[in-house]
Structure 1
Amino acid sequence: MSKRASGDPAPSELQVVRGEMQPWTDHTTARPALAALLTDVVPANRRTLILGPHAPQQIESVLAHSADVTILVRSVADAQQLGEDFGPCLQVIAGALDGLQGEPYDVIIATDGLDRVLGYDSADLSWTERLAALSHLAAPDAVVVLAVENEFSLLNLLDSRPADERHGDDEWRPLHDDPTRPVSVDQLKAALPWRAEVYADFASRTFIRADVAAASRPGELPTRLAVAALESDDAPLLSPAAEGVDSAARAGLLGSIPTGWLAIAGAGATHDVYAQTAQAVLTADQNLTGWDTTSTIGPAAAPSSAPDGPLSFDPSVVPTTVPSGVSVETVLFRLAAAEDVPAFRKLAADLGEWVTDSRVIVRWDDIVFDGESFAYGVSPWVAQERVEKDDLLAAAWVRFHDRLLGQHRRHPWPPWMLGDDLVSAWLGMSGIEPPEQLQATSPDTVAATAQQVARGKDLAAALDVVLETRAGTVDVRTTLAAAEEAQQELFELKGHVYGLERTLGFRNKAMKTRENRIRELRGQLQKLTTAHDRIRGSRTYAVSRVIFHAAQVRKPKTVARKLARRIRKR
């Protein structure tokens, strides 16, 4: 069921109950994975109530199953807009939860939770009291879908903002610090008056069945999808979320740290995992050997926000069966932390033999390793044309390099080797011949290693764009580490400057000493020159020169006879 188009019947009359708010608006965001889950959960042709603000995608998912749908929102402006968008297909009521009276509903959808269901003049109801009010509106065998925000979520614990600055002025949330709100799966199940199946909600992008999440370990498919969902959130964090997710998964607590939970009561069987992947929604069900996966593209999926570029979305490359195992990236991280370079080199060599020319972009965080063989994961991103093996490996190692350093993980390689040189070394481990080192002919000459990984860098950057990797938001720990590194570098530079100043001072003193010595020598030379000129101009010097020349004559008698002849002739 789509929105009302021009020419459709006029919207139904807006109903107003106690607790409406005006002027006010509650913002919503599209959640394709949640819309796909509702498509599987909502039964057909049942009297349905949508409680609280919901995005059009979620409303359309409900309308596709039932013609008798009512939505309750506290904002009059939002109610009027919904009436215009959906027309008579949707009965819109403006008001608060405690002001709604009527016959019980067969289906109640409250995927926005119970935070934004009361108005200005409503009673100050706790979460438990709001749940009781909701249960009064549900039939005995009703299907109820209820979301709960997790105050113990990893993103909430790592959020660098003060608690009073985490919600904007447009989100009136009076339930902060409510002691009756459940903060675990067990507390949520105990608080509900119905027997419910609980899904862990990771940033509204990935929904994982709670028991499946609890059994997932680092590097496995549910954990990888949870990490990808949390890394796409733009909240400023104290430290990278990936490390916390891996630690929680290792302790079996992945289902305890999501941003929220989704409780489903009275519904039939659903998939184990719902995950948003660009234009599609990935669903996965666990089997004895791995996962059965399906990628669905439809109106419930959000259009891709990625600009046209070198990569495209192709769900057909996602295998229908993904084996169980951990990601190659997880194994590489462990080997790097243990400084087991021989095992790291062997795994890199095996990867080099496994990768071939293909359109599918290779990512070590999505390649599954079961201890003996490799298999593609659920990444649907492909290049426009076939990419050579060398460039695919370069892109994979460049991405691994960025994630290794970006998450501040331990590794055995020295600082002066980081960057293109380290990526080139990993490529050499994978069987790619190192580039020939040529002598630079100008300052602008590009290094051979940079030329080798240039194409891989472009592919890795394009992959970061389509994956919505947070490039502009830096966590506090990274900032502190960068500041400490800059401080250390500044200290070293200060020492270097001091050494240069000291050296220049010594050289300056030596130059002054030499200058004084040169001046002394010039003065002595000037005195000697003056004395020399005075001696050469004296009569004594002239007589001595005559005597000197006369002394040079070898046969003085012969010279005397010649002089006598000349005198006689005259």
Structure 2
Amino acid sequence: MTRSNLVGGEMLNWSDLHPADSRPAAGGSAAVSLLAAALKPGDTVLVAGPHATSLYVDVAAQAESIDILVRSAPDAEELAESLTHAKTQVYCGSLDRFETDETYETYDLIVALDGLERMVGPDTASLPWSAALAKLLARLTPGGRLLLGATNSFSVNKLIQPDITAALPRDEDWGRSVADAPPAGLGPLKAALRAAGLGIAGEPEKPGPRPLDPTAVHANDADNPRGDGTAAAPLARICGVYPSLVEAEVAVGNGGQVVAAEAARVVAARNGGPTLMDPYRVVMDAAAAGLLVELAPAWYVAVGVEAPVDSTSGELVEERLLAALRADDQTALRREIVAYVEWLRTAPETGSPDHVIVEGTSYRLFGEGEQGTIEGHLNRFARRALESGSRQPWPAGGDAQQLTARLASMVGITVTPAATPEVIRPLGSAEQLATVARLADELAHASARALLFQGTINGIRKSVPYRLGHAMLNPARVVRRRLKRVLRRR
């Protein structure tokens, strides 16, 4: 027997768990990790909005009770029949019409990792993002925890892929108020959270509205009351999510190269085909500029929870090598290649430069390294450097085998040239245009040198010494040619 309860605003012929013309429900390994950090045995939990089925199962396994709110009637029926937890209630409808009991029930933990936009259907004319957030915060117990997802309208995705599908409206794209969308940008998101009575972790508290419940104090702030005697605002911790909310694989802070590389890999893996810019390099460059969180495709906001983010330190060997290439510093390039190859020759497990971290003079493997020969690891770096369109201290347009041979020669390794050189093109259109421009510049310089050389030759031929020498040597040439003819006849 179903336990689904209709609250109003439900969508009868629609599914967010099995979408035909919309994005899937929120999920991913980063979502699992964040939920595990927030969930405590005995919690009363509200899961609002569509989430991957595995997340519902994880919550039901530990929670004292779990209420689920989804807008899709088929999804509500499916969840009600599949979740056998004794204290599970499934509600179907819009957030603005959601009431659980005669009393206004509150929760220890509210999970809304999909964001706030898909908590209403077409029957709700408008529910501003800030109003939806206020409704969730009002349902928290004092000291309660909130996990919230928010999409970023201007992220690295804008620099990677042209959004050609934006002109093609989907079934889900009914008319909505602009205010219903998440704040556009990290700064406006923080401002909206402050307006809701939340503090931002790592930033000084700014004057603003008090929390909806003045007794709601974050555990870490219990010893830090306000000067006026009231409780400090609950803290919201924000981390970047890559590559999206629906498949959140990596949650990051503004960490170093290793953290950025994890995010860059998942972004590159999901952006095959033509791109505006090389996906991997876009993320790495954003991290170098301190914008890894600001330009993330989405964000997690964790209130009352220490969000688990990767804090691995060190530098990638690949980034050091690329820095030397860009600066035309062959001395630094040789030094890095020699040290890296020496480690390869003695390490029990080896990896290519994009899988090896260097800290001072020590090296260690990062992620799942690929076993192989020294030549193979250098060739992988050569290919990745050419695919990224990185500047090189040699003429443009070379193939991976040529670059591999140059690098290998620095450590005394001879590489056999390929019978048919493979031309590696940059992945992104911007890098391709930059390579074409460099080739055109090199061709123009070569043409100018050829013209200068031709002019020098013409000047020599017109000089008096050249003419005298030519006149003196010409008779000797005539005699030599005649002698050859005579000797051939004999």
Q: TM over 0.5, yes or no?
A: yes
The Cα shift of 1:172 comes to 6.3
1:48-74: CA deviations, max 9, x gaps? 110000001222222232041111110
Counterpart check, 1:261 vs 2:299: yes
Using the TM superposition, give the Cα deviation of residue 476 of structure 1 relative to its aligned residue in structure 2, in angstroms.
3.8
Alignment of 1:50-449 (within 5 A): 50-88=47-85, 90-102=88-100, 103-162=105-164, 164-165=166-167, 168-169=170-171, 174=176, 181=183, 183-184=185-186, 186-187=190-191, 189-194=193-198, 195-203=235-243, 204-209=248-253, 213=254, 216-217=255-256, 220-234=257-271, 237-267=275-305, 269-273=306-310, 286=311, 291=312, 324-356=313-345, 360=349, 362-377=351-366, 379-381=367-369, 391-415=372-396, 417-435=398-416, 447=419
Superposed, 1:463-542 pairs within 5 Å as 475-477=428-430
Q: 1:30 to 1:106 in 2, by over 3 A?
A: closer
Gaps of 5+ in 1: 1-10, 274-285, 292-323, 438-445, 451-456, 458-470, 489-570
1:377-428 superposed Cα distances (whole Å, 9 cap, x missing partner): 2x1355xxxx5xxx43233222212221112111112246422122133223
Q: CA 1:403 to 1:140, structure 2 compared with 1: closer, same or farther past 3 Å?
A: same
CA pair 128-426 structure 1, distance change in 2 beyond 3 A: same
Deviations 1:222-262 (A, max 9, x none): 22222223223338642123343333333322221111111
SS in 1 for 2:146: strand
Give the superposition deviation at 1:28.
2.1
Could you tell me whether the CA contact under 8 Å between 1:115 and 1:175 is conserved in 2? Answer: no
Q: Distance in 2 between matches of 1:43 and 1:173?
A: 39
The verdict on how the C-alpha distance between 1:416 and 1:107 changes in structure 2, with shifts beyond 3 A counting, is closer
Are the structure 2 counterparts of residues 233 and 179 from structure 1 closer, same or farther at C-alpha, using a change threshold of 3 Å? same
* Alignment partners' CA distance in 2, 1:258 and 1:156: 11
Query: What is the deviation of 1:175?
Result: 6.2
One-letter identity of the residue aligned with 1:421: Q
- Report the Cα distance in structure 1 between the residues aligned to 2:123 and 2:433, rounded to whole angstroms: 46
- The alignment-based identity, stated in percent, is 26
**C-alpha distance in 2, partners of 1:233/1:192?**
35
CA shift, 1:85, in A, is: 2.4
How many residues align? The count is: 387
CA RMSD of aligned residues (A): 3.4
What's the CA shift for 1:369? 1.9
- State the Cα distance separating 1:431 from its structure 2 match: 3.6
Do residues 40 (structure 1) and 37 (structure 2) align? yes
* DSSP-derived class of the 2:123 partner: coil
- Are residues 1:24 and 2:14 paired? yes
Output the amino acid matched with 1:122. T
Q: Is the 8 A contact 2:388 2:428 kept in 1?
A: no
C-alpha distance in 2, partners of 1:483/1:253? 29
SS of the equivalent of 1:120 reads coil
CA distance in 1, matches of 2:279, 2:419: 35
Q: Residues 428 and 171 from structure 1, CA distance in 2 versus in 1: closer, same or farther, beyond 3 angstroms?
A: farther
Structure-2-length-normalised TM-score:
0.70
Structure 2: distance between partners of 1:373 and 1:85: 51
Q: Quick check: 1:182–1:188 contact (8 Å CA) kept in 2?
A: no
| Distance in 2, Cα, partners of 1:172 & 1:207 | 31
